[in-house]
Amino acid sequence: MLRHLLHYGIHFLIPILIAVCFFKDNRVKVALILLAGIVIDIDHLWATPLFDADRCSIGFHLLHRYWAIAIYSLLLFIKPTRIVGLALIIHIIADSVDCLLM
């Protein structure tokens, strides 16, 4: 239960908290962008089986591989892509916590 609370809390609560605390002028827009980081889970559609509760996403799914994580990290250093990079890194952190608690 703790595993799922942390995983989904990081996916959904942390982006909203970051937007509210650090982006007061654009909090709704930033919150939506940060929440949209979950879109990289589209790569789960190519997995067999589609869902496996005991599978770690990190390193397995295409958009969760280490080269992709490196690209997401680089996006943090480019001002126009900083928030998108943050969204993707938050997603990876959520999935990493899930893997650690398996």
Q: Locate 80 and state its tokens.
A: 């126009």
**Which residues touch 45 (CB under 8 Å, ≥6 apart)?**
none
pLDDT at 10 > cutoff 90: yes
pTM for this prediction = 0.94
Q: Which whole number is the average pLDDT over 33-61? A: 94
Q: Which whole number is the average pLDDT over 80-86? A: 98
pLDDT tens across 49-63, in order? 988 989 999 999 999
What are the boundaries of each domain within the chain? Answer: 2-100
The pLDDT value given to residue 45? 95
Q: Which whole number is the average pLDDT over 56-83? A: 98
DSSP summary character for residue 61: S
How would residue 71 be classed by pLDDT, with cut points 50, 70 and 90? very high
